[in-house]
Structure 1
């Protein structure tokens, strides 16, 4: 038996755009609904919700450059045992994103809104890019900065060999990527134009309006995708997961009715499964 969390907010729109004058393409998303749903599911305060939400948006940005990729996992690990958070893991598929936080339950409230304030400035970024065929592409890099955007740019430059620039500002995420034929002058025009967008606009304006700041580069919308915080967990997945656990541990988890209750770390849904269950019977 499963108790799935209801979807309470509408999906957010990821806009793909082209900057022909600068031989550059990009994506933009204001993840208001994604951040709100992540905060609700994981019971996060405003500051934690924002940072977790930006990590979710980061996974969506990385998926957008996978050229038809099926799945993008982004894992951020602290290199210090003293950090309030030890790991943030996010996973994006077409139209959906989910994630979780491993953290110390100190009860302290941290108002700072940089990823370095939670995980420490030195992070280990691990990614899985699953294109849907062959073996997934797995990569790990380390970098030191308080800002998540810096870590993402370093990953793209070092591991993927992509020239990109990223803004993570509140619930807004923008990424531009150099296309073939983008020389130094063209790339400078694209980066300079994005850097000139006022903070007030980044905080408040709709993505469609923000794209007008790129009008000098002949900005054109290339498509829109919807994304929401959605989990794909189900009884079969959970049954397969507990089958990998030692029998002694499973015995300790049994309740009086012979059921094992497990909780999805991504969405908080509860599943009651019979001990030694055959996953195929849960279809």
Structure 2
């Protein structure tokens, strides 16, 4: 008969192993908040070009476990040209993002290899590579875009749609804006409904981390089951183990005493 103490210990260990492995392998908190820091945040901040009457309010950033920087360009809202559709659209966005109607576009930059990512027309991905001469390799198009970065690190992004999709290519009617930037706090993260916004972009990381956590937990339970089958958790077996440890420790102390003479 297994004691309640062992059952409680087993449950606690399962919980600790699962979450420790999951969080340690991802660098993310349970809510998806990115807790990292980087001294390269200012060096790689994107340069934003947008319509003069539709400027963002600022940039929030987070850094992941590997030093990849996520720059979140924040607008107070986004406006469709038809007022009725605009109201319906804002209502549903409020439902999806938990009441937050701010529009947020992300530019992800990896300082270690100079790669970047954002979304353009139709929410399709743009993956690029910063080049030393201030140009960029647009990977999906297999083409080089000249003069797409300031100092070879600050990628230029142009707002090209009413809902603030971005492009590497200059857009008529846009102008450069200077935006305040700060680290995203947990309060910002909750208020802006960031978990719902980022759950898709973080899906791969989340899946890998949870998979490792599940594997580690199953391996632990496999060892525990094998030990249970061999009777290691019975009171008699525990008593024998304690006696063996006690006897072994006694022999070690006698051996050490003999060595000291």
Q: Which has the larger radius of gyration?
A: 2
Q: Tell me the TM-score normalised to structure 1 length.
A: 0.29
Q: Which has the higher strand share?
A: 1
Higher RCO (C-alpha 8 Å, min separation 6): 1
